[in-house]
Amino acid sequence: MFMIRMDELNIYNKRVLIRVDFNVPMKQGKILSDTRILASLPTIKLALQKNAQVIIMSHLGRPCEGVYDDKFSLLPIVEYLKNKLIKYKIKLVKDYLGGIILNQGEIIVLENVRFNHGESKNDEVLARKYAALCDIFVMDAFGIAHRSHASTCGIARFADVSCIGGLFSNELNILSEVMKTPKRPLVVIVGGSKISTKFDLLNTLSKIADYVIVGGGIANTFLAIENKVGRSLYEPNFIGLAKQLLSKYNIQVPIDLRISTEYSENSVDIIKNRTDILGNEFILDFGDKTIQSLVLILKKANTILWNGPLGVYEFPNFRRGTEIIAHTIANSHAFSVAGGGDTLAAIDLFGIKDSISYISTGGGAFLQFIESQSLPIISIMKRHVK
């Protein structure tokens, strides 16, 4: 999977445009989590240390394409960067498609690329305008690498030189290692609401994992093979496929569950065996016996791959399963890799970020790469290798 890395190039006094993923959660103009920004800083700092002229581009949220909207401006992120890169003048530029002026000691941040017509459709004219802004394009936005947009695949095609940054390289190396040569036992955790969106992922991971733990609506679909699940979220059309997976692989289906007759933040939890769920009840979390059995499995692991919460962890009475499993992973001697938006939110909630071996910045890209060992940008980047 050889691709040119930025640290292999002479970038002295070159215009280096780094595509980062600053699509961070925001509320009223305040950054709620800076994980993705912090992950991008080493590549930016390396470019500055090598005396490159640095331009940064990113998207934020889902504005109406082609329409400027203050709510999705990168200005709060520029203000954040000023506190992290205090030696440099950092300037947000709104109108840049016709060219930019970049002064010595200055970093330019291009305004949200999704304000540009043609960004999500990978418009060739737009991609060529992006490419004209730089001497070298650096793809370091792993979180958006599953999308063929003008600021990712498009610019990579037309820039004179295209390469990958340190964050992107690390993501590929670590995920490839987990998939190909994990230290065993390998325990995989796949949670979330719909098995339909993660069936290919489950199928791929089940083939290589020693244990697969399923949670949320995905677990409910497995439960529904032989049990009633009441009003719980599950997918009847996938029961047959779930049954096939269960018959072939070591998938851990919960034996007891926390349930309620209401789907509410204030619902009271009741623990029941999986065979005792009534028609008016919701399954919202694992029961204590299930949690205890999973903790024992995780304590034996040497590699853990975690994607998705195990229950409705947003409700205080139904976060026990996700919380205990999260802390067990954090305290484990295993090499742990976590990815996906809900997973990162749970990691932040439980304060274990520093105890996870590697946190992927990708959601969809994380899943796609694990499923297929490829991403749209990879084949384009390979073409730039002489």
> Tokens at residue 11, please?
């970038």
Q: Do the annotations mark residue 98 as ligand-binding?
A: no
Question: Has 168 been labeled as part of a binding site?
Answer: no
Asked if residue 60 belongs to a known ligand binding site, the reply is yes
Give yes or no for a contact between 135 and 161, defined as CB atoms under 8 angstroms apart: yes
d(CA 45, CA 8): 15
55 contacts 15 by C-beta, under 8 angstroms:
yes
198 is in an annotated binding site: yes
- Supply angle C-alpha 54, 55, 59, rounded to 5: 145
CA distances from 9 to 43, 158, 187, 263, 357 (A): 13, 18, 38, 55, 29
Q: Is 62 annotated as a binding residue?
A: yes
Determine contact, residues 297/178, Cβ cutoff 8 Å: no
The maximal CA–CA distance of the chain, rounded, in angstroms, is 70
The reply to whether 322 sits in an annotated binding site is no
Residue 184 annotated as part of some ligand binding site: no
Angle between helices 35-49 and 75-84 (to 10 degrees): 60
Question: Is residue 340 annotated as involved in ligand binding?
Answer: yes
Q: Does the annotation list 269 as a binding residue?
A: no
- What is the separation of C-alpha 125 from the centre of its chain, rounded to a whole number of angstroms? 29
Helix, strand, coil proportions of the chain in percent (round to 5)?
40, 20, 40
Which residues are within 8 A (CB) of 283 and not within 5 positions of it... i.e. 6 or more apart?
219, 220, 223, 229, 230, 232, 257, 258, 259, 277
The rounded distance, in Å, linking the Cα atoms of 355 and 327 is: 9
Nearest to 307 by CA among 181, 190, 208, 161: 190
Give dist(CA 213, CA 205) in Å, integer: 11
- 50 carries a ligand binding annotation: no
Is 321 marked as binding a ligand?
no
118 annotated ligand binder: no
Please report where in the chains the tokens 């349930």 appear, as a residue.
259
Residues belonging to the binding site for (2R)-3-phosphoglycerate are: 36, 114, 147
Residues belonging to the binding site are: 21-23, 36, 59-62, 114, 147, 198, 314, 340-343
Residues belonging to the binding site for ATP are: 198, 314, 340-343
Residues belonging to the binding site for substrate are: 21-23, 36, 59-62, 114, 147
